[in-house]
């Protein structure tokens, strides 16, 4: 489909001209055909468009699966996937997703969020963090809510999801190496984290009050429905996810966001993401924050 046209369903990842053999001296042969099949499969199953420069990453991550399954070739492994082994599909997607994150990443978003929360009626405020990764982002959302309402029990419900089941387990545990929180303000660290001792020395755990604010589920944004997400949402964080999708796939996901988001709700995107191809769906408020294009009385280009 063309950008902005809701009638399309997205395409498959394009083929790429590469040398017939992708790297010599490897444990397993990895051909252009193998890499192209991987690109097609991950695009179809998860919407991810792998760039040609990702060939070394694909080899190193999937070679581990060949060893674990005692397989001799990528052709054998990909044929096994195509036979429909659900558990391996999950591992395949987990292997090829990137989970770079940190607490209060792109900090200006959380400053803007706090102001937005205080303008909302103090009913249960619904937030969806659609790419939770290992949990730093949903816990940053929870901390922001606690600070906004000066309470460890703010009127906020956070749903956190990811396609990768492994990172969701880490997120739900709320336990991190201490170096992951070294950049946090000392007062935040004192108020919202518990320091490990004994065998847990060198680790921190988020306070249980924060964990109670968050529920987790696995969600593939390409799925036809997201039954675990309850609208209307006041806030939707979908940051640094869309960069992995082509424009038609982005449009279809954004189109599904619209009815889930409250008319005055806000969508937060990553710093390198732009939705100019979907101006019929979302209007930019600046600094990668968006509102619904159909919101009445809105002033384009104003930051909330």
CATH code: domain of residue 88: 1.10.155.10
Let me know if residue 126 belongs to a domain.
yes
Q: End of a domain among 96, 118, 153? A: 96
pLDDT for residue 188: 95
Partner residues linked to 231 by β-bridges: none
- Give yes or no: residues 260 and 116 share one domain: yes
Active-site amino acid positions: 61, 162
Rounded-to-integer distance, Cα 124 and Cα 297, Å: 24
pLDDT for residue 244: 83
Rounded-to-integer distance, Cα 32 and Cα 15, Å: 10
User: Which residues are CB-neighbours of 102 under 8 A, at least 6 positions away?
Assistant: 136, 180, 183
Let me know if residue 101 belongs to a domain.
no
pLDDT for residue 100: 67
**Antiparallel, parallel or unpaired: β 289-292 and 261-268:** antiparallel
Q: For the chain, which residues score pLDDT lower than 70?
A: 1-25, 98-100, 297-304
Q: End of a domain among 96, 122, 141? A: 96
**How many domains is the chain partitioned into structurally?**
2
The domain containing residue 33 runs over which residues? 1-96
Let me know if residue 67 belongs to a domain.
yes
- Give yes or no: residues 40 and 79 share one domain: yes
pTM (two decimals)? 0.77
- Give yes or no: residues 171 and 194 share one domain: yes
Let me know if residue 103 belongs to a domain.
no
Rounded-to-integer distance, Cα 167 and Cα 94, Å: 9
pLDDT for residue 3: 32
- Give yes or no: residues 64 and 84 share one domain: yes
Assign 237 to helix, strand or coil: strand
- Give yes or no: residues 4 and 26 share one domain: yes
- Give yes or no: residues 79 and 150 share one domain: no
> What φ, ψ does residue 175 adopt, rounded to 5°?
-110, 130
Rounded-to-integer distance, Cα 110 and Cα 264, Å: 17
CA distances from 266 to 97, 101, 183, 262 (A): 26, 21, 27, 8
Rounded-to-integer distance, Cα 97 and Cα 304, Å: 32
């Amino acid at each position: 489909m063309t950008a902005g046209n809701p009638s399309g369903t997205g395409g498959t990842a394009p083929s790429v001209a590469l040398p017939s053999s992708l790297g010599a001296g490897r444990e397993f042969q990895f051909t252009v055909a193998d890499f192209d099949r991987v690109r097609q499969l991950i695009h179809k199953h998860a919407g991810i468009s792998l760039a040609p420069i990702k060939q070394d990453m694909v080899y190193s991550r999937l070679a581990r699966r060949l060893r674990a399954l005692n397989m001799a070739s990528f052709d054998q492994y990909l044929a096994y996937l195509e036979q429909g082994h659900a558990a391996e599909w999950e591992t395949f997607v987990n292997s090829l997703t990137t989970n770079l994150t940190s607490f209060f990443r792109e900090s200006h978003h959380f400053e803007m969020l706090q102001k937005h929360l205080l303008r909302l009626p103090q009913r249960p405020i619904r937030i969806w963090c659609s790419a939770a990764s290992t949990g730093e982002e949903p816990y940053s959302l929870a901390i922001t809510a606690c600070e906004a309402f000066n309470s460890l029990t703010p009127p906020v419900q956070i749903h956190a999801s990811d396609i990768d089941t492994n990172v969701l387990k880490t997120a739900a545990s709320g336990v991190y190496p201490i170096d992951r929180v070294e950049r946090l303000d000392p007062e935040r660290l004192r108020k919202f984290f518990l320091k490990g001792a004994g065998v847990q020395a060198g680790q921190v755990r988020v306070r249980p009050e924060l964990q109670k604010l968050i529920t987790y589920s696995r969600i593939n944004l390409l799925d036809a429905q997201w039954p675990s997400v309850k609208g209307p949402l006041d806030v939707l964080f979908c940051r640094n996810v869309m960069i992995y999708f082509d424009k038609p796939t982005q449009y279809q996901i954004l189109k599904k966001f619209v009815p889930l988001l409250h008319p005055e709700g806000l969508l937060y995107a990553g710093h390198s993401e732009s939705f100019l191809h979907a101006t019929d769906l979302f209007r930019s408020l600046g600094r990668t924050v968006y509102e619904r294009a159909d919101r009445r009385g809105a002033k384009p280009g104003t930051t909330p």
